């Protein structure tokens, strides 16, 4: 039995059979414009309809909730009916609340520095499971906002578990619902990829001007193929060409994601090559510190080395900044989206 969010919005009448047509419209409004954690809170629906929706609203159940960064970061572990794990992180800032959503359970890309990839691939998430992460966040934030941040999602980044462009059909449908139905501005949505060239090309032709973030992590094919196996299929030149086409069509500046790993991609040689790519693409470079993962000995360089790397980029005309790491102590930071089996009782909340 599909959950409500797994139905297409235009098919919600299937859940209101025997009720006036406007009940489906009311349900649609609750789910996408004014989401609530429980169908019991859909106060203008009749009691019998709320009861029938009680166990069919969400396509997952909340298993664990963790909080960090003085209540400015929150991570949820959801469990789908088939046992697949779905992890979502919300981060609050003074002027925005950003949600990092998953598009797959696990990941098949096998990037050597990423915890999610090291634990393998379970399955694609369907569009409803992707969109429901945003709706759940809006419902939860309305009840309990992050400290000092807006009480709703203002920005969405597809940077959680999985490679979004390897699950293109479901990601595309989720973009439609997030932008056209939830009514979030396309420019507030960013899709990340390790370089799935056909997906970048398809995304460029979509009607929404979403942002594109390319996880580069190495500026030549030899090193990049060691870190990102997909590079053997889509070498750097083909990725760059697809990104140039994306920029030409959409006019959206690309961001380059670069996880800095000590002794691997933090060299001046890599900085010089990266600066050349970034200036060619007119891209912004986000430097991210390597987060320790269970199956690798890779570490982040010290801050002096990090600053030297960024300075080398800037001196060569690249726009580069160090991105703040959030949620590291709850395994919520980039590259660490994996189940944390033990937490402090004060930080963990299990679904009842």
The catalytic residues are: 87, 334
Alpha carbon of residue 292 to chain centroid? 20
State both tokens at 102.
């998953």
285 close to 318: Cβ distance less than 8 angstroms: yes
State both tokens at 38.
């429980």
Dist. CA 136–CA 4, nearest whole Å: 13
**H-helix or E-strand spanning residue 259:** strand 255-260
Per the document, the length of the chain is: 352
Dist. CA 222–CA 231, nearest whole Å: 9
Cα torsion angle, 285, 287, 292, 297, sign: positive
Distance in Å from the first CA to the final CA of the chain: 21
Dist. CA 66–CA 50, nearest whole Å: 29
């Amino acid at each position: 039995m599909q959950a409500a969010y797994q139905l297409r919005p235009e098919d919600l009448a299937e859940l209101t059979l025997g009720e006036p047509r406007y009940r489906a419209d009311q349900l649609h409004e609750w789910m996408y414009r004014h989401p609530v954690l429980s169908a019991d809170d859909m106060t203008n629906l009749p009691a019998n309809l709320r009861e029938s929706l009680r166990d069919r609203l969400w396509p997952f159940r909340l298993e664990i909730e963790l909080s960090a960064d003085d209540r400015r970061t929150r991570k949820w572990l959801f469990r789908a009916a088939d046992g697949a794990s779905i992890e979502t992180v919300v981060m609050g800032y003074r002027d925005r609340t950003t949600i990092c959503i998953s598009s797959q359970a696990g990941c098949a890309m096998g990037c050597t520095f990423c915890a999610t990839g090291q634990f393998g691939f379970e399955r694609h998430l369907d569009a409803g499971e992707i969109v429901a992460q945003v709706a759940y966040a809006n419902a939860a934030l309305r009840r309990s906002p992050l400290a000092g941040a807006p009480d709703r999602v203002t920005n969405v980044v597809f940077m959680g578990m999985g490679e979004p462009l390897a699950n293109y059909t479901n990601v595309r449908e989720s973009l439609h619902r997030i932008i056209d139905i939830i009514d979030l501005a396309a420019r507030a949505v960013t899709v990340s990829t390790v370089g799935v060239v056909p997906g970048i090309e398809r995304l460029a032709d979509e009607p929404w001007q979403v942002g594109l973030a390319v996880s580069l992590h190495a500026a030549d094919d030899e090193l990049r193929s060691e870190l990102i196996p997909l590079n053997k299929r889509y070498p750097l030149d083909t990725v760059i060409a697809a990104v140039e086409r994306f920029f030409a069509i959409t006019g959206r500046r690309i961001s380059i994601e670069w996880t800095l790993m000590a002794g691997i991609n933090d060299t001046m040689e890599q900085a010089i090559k990266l600066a050349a790519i970034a200036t060619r693409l007119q891209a912004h470079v986000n430097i991210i510190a390597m987060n320790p993962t269970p199956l690798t000995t890779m570490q982040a360089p010290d801050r002096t080395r990090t600053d030297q790397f960024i300075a080398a980029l800037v001196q060569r005309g690249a726009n580069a900044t160090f991105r703040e790491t959030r949620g590291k102590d709850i395994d919520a930071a980039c590259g660490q989206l994996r189940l944390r089996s033990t937490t402090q009782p004060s930080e963990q909340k299990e679904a009842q």
